[in-house]
A and B are shown apart, each in its own frame.
Chain A
Amino acid sequence: MAADRLKKVFTDVLGISPDTDWDALRYRGVEQWDSVAHMQLVGEIEETFDVMLETSDVLAMSSFTEAVTILQRHGADLD
């Protein structure tokens, strides 16, 4: 799965390159993805995919791949 829409959210919010190693991207693994940015990500993800994440989702979203898994569970169209 390319998950292009989700990647765009991440690049927009975190200001990271589209060429990022997405499989390796983890919360606090890069300087830009701190707790403040994490909540901004959550807000943008909810807005973009029209979902409301559970607090447990917010806490579990520790990587890009985990974000993909969570959004798939919410039935979001990631591409």
Chain B
Amino acid sequence: MTDLLDLTGKVALVTGSTRGIGWCTAQLLAAHGATVIVNGRTDADAVQARAGELESTYARPAAGVVCDVADPDEIRGTYQLIFREHGRLDVLVNNAGILDDALLGMVSDDMIERSFRVNTFGAIHHLQAAARLMQRKKRGSIVNLSSIIGVVGNEGQTVYSATKSALIGLTKSAAKELAPHQIRVNAIAPGFIDTDMTRALPPEKFEERAAGIKMGRTGTPEDIARSVLFFASDMSTYVTGQVLGVDGGMLV
């Protein structure tokens, strides 16, 4: 019987993948056979160490690339590198993101600029370049990590929610434009996931948000990674333009 989750021979780039959801996703894709390209913003040693971990753990080729998703020139360089080194890209996971909360009256211009550059513009630039590589093979899967906050909004998170809502529009429009090329574009809207990013919240905020989850527990990076695997694999060959909530029944 064909293993529809098998990613052997496929090349996957996961942005922001030295820790958290990105790292968990990189491991799961490698475990299913993909050649994973790990990405981090500045720390070349950490990126290469993670790529080495994938190679030694899963006996698969892996690679690392340092690239700030907020810098379009670095993104262009990344895809030239992928083209030269791998000649293809089958899966892009737009995961890199920042969480910067502030009440509306305290939102600075710098915060808006930085949040959109990382969470939104970076994803657009990656999607644009990835689609070009994928068109060569007439197939591919792009997964954008949005957020439940991008779907329903939340006080104190106006900018963050705007950046993540934009990814939903991006997903739906790109899915329509790229469907004729057999490139699928989907989004995941994680709920409250236990990562370094959410652990940076004040403890009372963390507990308050966790208490709103109907399944009675915070999400794990593995919960999200499994959903990425679904979209990346042949389990979802006829699915595009969708936003999958992975939130344990969270209320915001």
Contacts and interface: CB of A to CB of B under 8 A. Distances in A.
Contacts of B116: none
Interface in B130-173: 132-133, 135-136
Interface string A55-77: 10000000000000000000000
B83 interface: yes
A52 interface: yes
Contacts of A47: 136
B241 to A, nearest CB: 19
A53 B83 CA distance: 11
A55 B128 contact: yes
Contacts of B80: 52
A52 B128 contact: no
Q: Is the interface of B mostly helix, strand, loop or mixed?
A: helix
Contacts of B79: 52
A54 interface: yes
A46 B83 CA distance: 11
A43 interface: yes
Nearest to B79: A52
Contacts of B135: 43
B76 interface: yes
Interface residues of A, number: 8
A58 to B, nearest CB: 8
Contacts of A42: 132
A55 B136 contact: no
Contacts of B83: 52
A62 B41 CA distance: 35
Contacts of B133: 52
Nearest to A47: B136
A43 B136 contact: yes
B75 to A, nearest CB: 10
A39 to B, nearest CB: 8
Contacts of B128: 55
Interface in B94-146: 128-129, 132-133, 135-136
B94 to A, nearest CB: 17
A46 B76 contact: no
A35 B40 CA distance: 35
Contacts of A46: 132, 136
17 contacts: A42-B132, A43-B132, A43-B135, A43-B136, A46-B132, A46-B136, A47-B136, A52-B79, A52-B80, A52-B83, A52-B132, A52-B133, A53-B132, A54-B76, A55-B76, A55-B128, A55-B129
Interface of A: 42-43, 46-47, 52-55
Interface of B: 76, 79-80, 83, 128-129, 132-133, 135-136
Given A42-B132, A52-B133, A54-B76, 11 more contacts: A43-B132, A43-B135, A43-B136, A46-B132, A47-B136, A52-B80, A52-B83, A52-B132, A55-B76, A55-B128, A55-B129
